[in-house]
Structure 1
């Protein structure tokens, strides 16, 4: 409850509806495919097979920032270092 004359910016509401929550961004398969530079059909196929991280909201396939980061991390490969054979 605010007092008369109290500026709204100085209100101190403790209810959960007034707490700031982190914003979660979900991307459509088309948006995620564009970000990853892959075909949308590849992304949908891998998500349906549950081999890449994804989020289903009901029937709707979406990708969070964490899902996309997980896809990138899973695809990262370490360089192969080959030793040169010495001459005998």
Structure 2
């Protein structure tokens, strides 16, 4: 998408999947099960910028603190 297209208020599932680098089928399934934020306009599924940000934030995991024991040195 070009910078000009960033003014889009809502993204289709195909556009949102491309932006998130996930399969469209995963996105549709997760939205249909209400596991991720989305907007339904009638039967039409759409995603806002805030919805996409929430999907990314939900997938974030903290780094693990891996400590090596002295015996391993």
The CA deviation at 1:31 is: 0.2
Q: TM-score, normalised by structure 1?
A: 0.69
1:51 to 31, 35, 40: 35
Larger radius of gyration between Structure 1 and Structure 2? 1
Instruction: Give the paired residue count.
Output: 65
Tell me if 1:36 matches 2:20.
yes
The answer to which structure has the higher helix fraction is 2
Between 60-69 and 77-86, report the one with greater CA deviation. Answer: 77-86
- Unaligned runs of 5+ residues in structure 2 are 1-6
Question: CA RMSD, aligned part only?
Answer: 1.3
Q: TM-score, normalised by structure 2?
A: 0.83
The CA deviation at 1:24 is: 6.6
If asked which structure has higher relative contact order (CA below 8 Å, sep 6+), I would say 2
Q: Deviations over 1:50-71 (max 9, x none)?
A: 0011111111100000000000
Tell me if 1:61 matches 2:21.
no
